[in-house]
Each structure stands twice: as structure tokens, then as C-alpha cells.
Amino acid sequence: MTITVRFAPSPTGRIHIGNTRTALFNWLFAQKHNGRFIQRFDDTDVERSRKEYADSILYDLHWLGIFPDSIEYQSKRFDVYDQAVEKLKAAGVLYPCYETPEELDLRRKIRRTRGLPPVYGREALALTQDEITEFEADGRRPHWRFLLPNFASDPAETQRTEVHWNDLVRGEETVDLASLSDPVLVREDGTYLYTLPSVVDDIDMGVTHVIRGDDHVTNTGVQIALFRALGAEPPVFGHHNLLTTSSGEGLSKRSGALSVESLREAGVEPMAIASLAVLIGTSENVQAIDSLAELATHFDPASTSKSAAKFDPDELFVLNRALLHRMPFEEVRDRLVLFGIADERAEAFWNAVRGNLDKIADARDWWRIVNEGPLEAQQFDAETLEFLRSGFALLPEEPWGDTVWKQWTGAIRKETGRKGKELFAPLRLALTGRSSGPELAELLPIIGREGTLARRP
């Protein structure tokens, strides 16, 4: 059997780094097991779902290196869900209810005062045909509840009914179906809540492993019962902890905070996001990993902690720098071309500057500096000016070898007696306009003799 997973966001906003964790847990799991990854859009809520969001989620996933084997939209599958509804009705496990939210609220309060758990008391099962006709005549439409299998013969007499699953992340989990209300699967207006379409799709699409956030743990008992009611064996479930910011705040698709898009725009590399999204809140150290293939070898869902994974967004930039500082030219060549960094010096330039970049776009400033000189005109005091002028006069003739910087600064040292910082700091300022940056020994040949002389103060 092919291991099959799915990532199933509702397309109601851009995905954030927390959604990325779910997507990557699924993707890496599929990669490790040579499995299939289904991209499923839970867009049954047509009011809030948008095709543009679905498209942008696909874009973000591609950018991260996730390439779904198939893409499914729940909004195109209503007929399949309708068939499942008929099947459940025929089996007598989907029943119509007519309570208004206010009536339900009142009932819950009464149950609480009687010391009963605030679950739905299945009053609708006792409705007579006349009562139903009356409701319908009043213009009420039913919503439909799934009758949980938590009783022996009389649904009014629930009894403890444990559902167990061995969670990929959390280990043994148990839910007592008697502690839950019969879930509403279909609303008054005929629209579907998430539960039924999700289970129907998981069955239809051969999903073997449902890996998702632990906000769904409590849904799992109901879903397992629904799988069985539809005649299917439930898949394996895995519920990973959710990401929160350092202050404990959750992430939301709708707020746009820490969206993949905003991080990309801020210059964060996909592997910085992936490394953090996968490794935080596990027993592995958070470290910059160069590829998803390598990340897969560090990925073990069972090593994930059960409590929320707090992270500091600044960590993304630490990882980003680590990735850039060792990123091979081949990997950035095309992106540098987009910045106009395309001539025969591009590789030497990249190797010279990469250790000083927070993000790739910073290379543009260094390219300007290399080609045009300091971005702001430099002012030197008289003594430094004199030193620099005599130094520039000693610049070796071309052709330059690899050791030109050593040769030049050796000659300056000899002539002026300056060494160390005294020698290098003014040269760096004159050449780059910055007090720190890439190795000048590497930059100088890229600047060239003519360019260097043009910087002579």
C-alpha cells in the first residue's frame, strides 16, 4: 500500500510558518516512505474560501520545495459528500435536528445545573412525525447530526465507549465517545462542516496517514467513528504541536502574520523557514539545514514535544545567515542574474560577499560598491588622507595575481610604517565606504586596478 498523506488547509488566507510545519511534516513523511502527497483545499465554505488563496498556497509550497502529486478541491466534490450523507441516513446514523442555537444553549445550561455533562441530549431522536411537520411548516430546516456509537441499544443511554489510536506523534490516545455531543455534519442551509468531507476524502483518496496540528486531537474520536460508519478502516493519525510566538501567541492565516509570503519578501530563504518549522519543538537542535532531503533525515515525528513550540522570529534570520554564508554559487547564480550580477566576476563576487549577507538582496549593495565605489562620499582627516594617497600610489601594476592584496598592503606597510587596524581600516573605508565587510583580499581583484584608482581620495 502506498503511504498517502494530505495537507488540507482551507484557502482563507496566506499560509504562515505554522501551516508550513504541517505541510512539511506531511511532505517529509511522504518522502521518507516513498509516498504520495495530496494537496487538498478544504474550501466547502464558499463564503470565506478564495481561489487566489489556494493559488498562492500552491505557489508558497512550490517555493518551499513541496510538489504535490495531486491537487483536490472539496468545492468540486459536493456530489460525493451528498452520497455519503445518503449512506449515513440509510444506516440511521444521521438524524435531523431542529433546535435553534438559543434552545441548545438553554438545554446546556439546564444539563450543567443538573450536574450532567454539557453534551447534546439527543432530544431530536424523540421527535414525532407531527412535531417535525410542524417545524417544517414553521419554516425551520433541519441540521443533521451523526449518531455516535456510544450506547448499547438505546441512544438515550450512553455508556463509556473508548476509541483508541496510536498517534504517530503523541503515542497512545484515548477518547470516550460518551463525553462528546453528536457532531453536526450538515448545517440548516445544507452546507457541510469540515468533518464529513474530510473523512469522505480521506477514504476516497486512499489517505493512509493524517498528519495535522494537535488542535484536531479532539476531533479524531468522532472521525474514527465516522470512518467506521462509512465502512472504512481509519488511517493512522499524527498530531503535532502548534507553533506560537515567544509571547505564546498563536498564528492565524487571516492576520497574515509570519506568512510565507511576508517572510519571502523579507529575504528569508525557504530552507531557513523549513528548518525552523520542522525542528522547533522537537528533540532535534534547531539548525540550518541545506535541503529538504537532508531535513528528512533529521525528521522524526515521534520526537516532537506535546507542548506548544515557541519560537522567536529572529531565529529565522540567524538560520538565514548560516545558509547564505555557505551557499554555493550554483545555487544563487540565477537569482544574482536578476540583480544584474552576471559577468565573469559573479562567482568570485558571491564567494567574497556571502559571509556578510543577512539576505541575498544585500548582495546588490555590495555589487554597487564593487562597481561604483562607496555609496556615500567618504571624509578623511588630513593625516589619513596623506596616508591613503601614498598608499594608492603603491597599487601594483596589472596583471594581478591572487596575492595582490598582500603585495599591495605589504608595500604600504613598508612605506608608511602602519600596520594592523591603522593600515586596514582607512583602506577599507576608502574602497568600500564601510567599516566592515567582505575580505578585501577577495574584493580587490573584483574591483580591479582601474576601479581601485578611481577610489583614490
Catalog residues that contact ligand GLU under the rule CB under 6 A: 8-10, 42, 194, 198, 210, 212, 216
Strand 70-73 to 94-97 pairing: unpaired
Residue 234 C-beta: closest distance to ligand GLU, Å: 12
Place of cell 595582490: 404
Q: Which is nearer to ligand GLU, 229 or 322 (CB)?
A: 229
Greatest alpha-carbon span in the chain:
110
Supply 71's cell numbers.
491537487
Place of cell 509550497: 61
253 labelled ligand-binding? yes
3-state secondary structure of 112: helix
Q: Which is nearer to ligand GLU, 226 or 427 (CB)?
A: 226
Residue 310 C-beta: closest distance to ligand GLU, Å: 21
Residue 272 C-beta: closest distance to ligand GLU, Å: 24
Q: Which is nearer to ligand GLU, 9 or 438 (CB)?
A: 9
Residue 274 C-beta: closest distance to ligand GLU, Å: 19
Give residue 332's identity as a one-letter amino acid code: V
The alpha carbon of 189 is separated from its chain's Cα centroid by a whole number of angstroms, namely 34
Residue 104 C-beta: closest distance to ligand GLU, Å: 24
Residue pair 166/123 in contact by the 8 Å Cβ criterion: no
Supply 354's cell numbers.
556571502
Residue 212 C-beta: closest distance to ligand GLU, Å: 4
Using CA atoms, how far residue 292 sits from 229, 243, 259, 316, 322, in Å, is 38, 20, 20, 16, 16
Which one, of 365, 435, 431, lies nearest residue 392 by Cα? 431
Place of cell 581600516: 425
Q: Which is nearer to ligand GLU, 4 or 198 (CB)?
A: 198
Strand ranges (E), 80-133: 94-97
Residue pair 198/10 in contact by the 8 Å Cβ criterion: no
Q: Which is nearer to ligand GLU, 182 or 202 (CB)?
A: 202
Q: Which is nearer to ligand GLU, 168 or 429 (CB)?
A: 168
Residue 424 C-beta: closest distance to ligand GLU, Å: 56
Residue 352 C-beta: closest distance to ligand GLU, Å: 45
Residue 436 CA to residue 453 CA, distance in Å, equals 20
How many CB atoms lie under 10 A from the CB of residue 240? Answer: 26
Q: Which is nearer to ligand GLU, 146 or 194 (CB)?
A: 194
Length of the chain equals 457
Strand 70-73 to 36-41 pairing: parallel
Q: Which is nearer to ligand GLU, 226 or 341 (CB)?
A: 226
Residue 324 CA to residue 382 CA, distance in Å, equals 39
**Triad 428, 431, 432: Cα angle to 5°:** 80
Residue 37 C-beta: closest distance to ligand GLU, Å: 13
3-state secondary structure of 281: coil
Place of cell 555609496: 375
Q: Which is nearer to ligand GLU, 49 or 452 (CB)?
A: 49
Q: Which is nearer to ligand GLU, 18 or 373 (CB)?
A: 18
Residue 25 C-beta: closest distance to ligand GLU, Å: 11
DSSP for 127-195 reads: --HHHHHHHHHTT---EEEE--S-BSS-TTSB---EEEEEETTTEEEEEEGGGSPPPEEE-TTSPBPSH
3-state secondary structure of 312: coil
Please report, in range form, the residues annotated as the binding site for ATP: 253
Q: Which residues are annotated as a binding site?
A: 253
